[in-house]
Amino acid sequence: MIDLENAVAGYTSFRLAPTTLTFAEGRFSALIGPNGCGKSTLLRMISRQLAPLSGAVRIGGRAAAGLSQKDLARRIALLPQENIAPAGISVADLAGYGRAPHQSLLGIASDTDRAHVARALHRMDLAHLAQAPVASLSGGQRQRAFLAMLLAQDTPAMLFDEPTNWLDIQHQVQVLTLIRSLAAEGRTCVAVLHDIAQAARYADHLVVMKDGAIVAQGAPAEVVTAELVAEVYEIAVEIYPDPVSGTPVPYPCQPRTGALAAAG
């Protein structure tokens, strides 16, 4: 579980509103909202990449501020939006970095570490590219290599900042299904997603942000309404039921311009 109590973080030009929020374990929570509303800032604060200016962040009931770097990395992992691999590293070695918090200072890999890495590469469809340099991968393959590193870290709380970026539709579904199964294993999973229909279909819980503040949260069917989308994204939509899950799918209303407007 991750809980925030009046937590505030930000930069000179942008600050989150005091945020009180719980991400429950065993649940896939999706964070949605317009560009620049503070979603990444919130994840950075939770993962302690950005120190809270006030308030508290607790991970598994423990104050994040009081944890050692290693203890923190055993409890929570973050897939950032931008990832840079060390020069010349292979896919398997990158995934192996995820095991560092579980190793001694000497960084000697155990059989357990190797098993975690092999499983992570398999889950991300990368076993055949294990020895390939990360620099030689496509954008989607690289994203999956960083996801494999996250899986190898094997933490009870996992944060994903736009995990479906660069992925084709097959791998988008694979990653969203994977996050669901990680939550079903009892982990606390939080993902920033831009596709509201995907968020509504795959997540159990939606948290909606605007201008640095949480403006709505709850079950997707309750949260995703035409009124909320209009208020948060400033665009008129109609809501259709997802043909598979029945969850809400917002579709932009067509502006009635040109020949269509004249005909109507």
The residue ranges that bind ligand ATP (CB under 6 A) are 11, 13-14, 33, 35-41, 81
150/124 Cα distance (integer angstroms): 11
Q: Answer for the pair 205, 25: CB distance below 8 angstroms, yes or no.
A: no
Q: Which is nearer to ligand ATP, 82 or 111 (CB)?
A: 82
Q: Cα-flanking dihedrals φ and ψ of residue 197, to 5°?
A: -65, -40
Distance of closest approach, residue 18 Cβ to ligand ATP, in angstroms: 16
Residue 91 or residue 228: which is nearer to ligand ATP going by CB?
228
Nearer to ligand ATP, 11 or 105 (CB): 11
In angstroms, give the least distance from the CB of 80 to ligand ATP. Answer: 10
> Nearest 5°: phi and psi at 32?
-125, 160
- Minimum Å gap between C-beta 34 and ligand ATP is 7
* Nearer to ligand ATP among residue 33 and residue 101 (C-beta): 33
Contact (Cβ atoms closer than 8 angstroms) between residue 137 and residue 129? yes
Instruction: For residue 59, give every residue at least 6 positions away whose Cβ sits within 8 Å of its Cβ, in sequence order, or none.
Output: 1, 2, 46, 67, 72, 75, 76, 157
Min separation Cβ 15 and ligand ATP, Å:
9
Give min distance, CB of 143 to ligand ATP, in A: 15
Q: What three-state secondary structure class fits 245?
A: coil
Question: What's 129's DSSP letter?
Answer: G
Would you say 33 or 250 has its CB closer to ligand ATP?
A: 33
In the complex with ligand ATP, the residue whose CB is nearer, 46 or 150, is: 46
**Where does residue 211 fall: left (phi above 0), alpha (psi -120 to 50 degrees), or beta otherwise?**
left
* Torsion sign, CA atoms 21, 184, 219, 158: positive
CA terminus-to-terminus distance, the chain: 53
Rounded least distance, CB 207 to ligand ATP, Å: 12
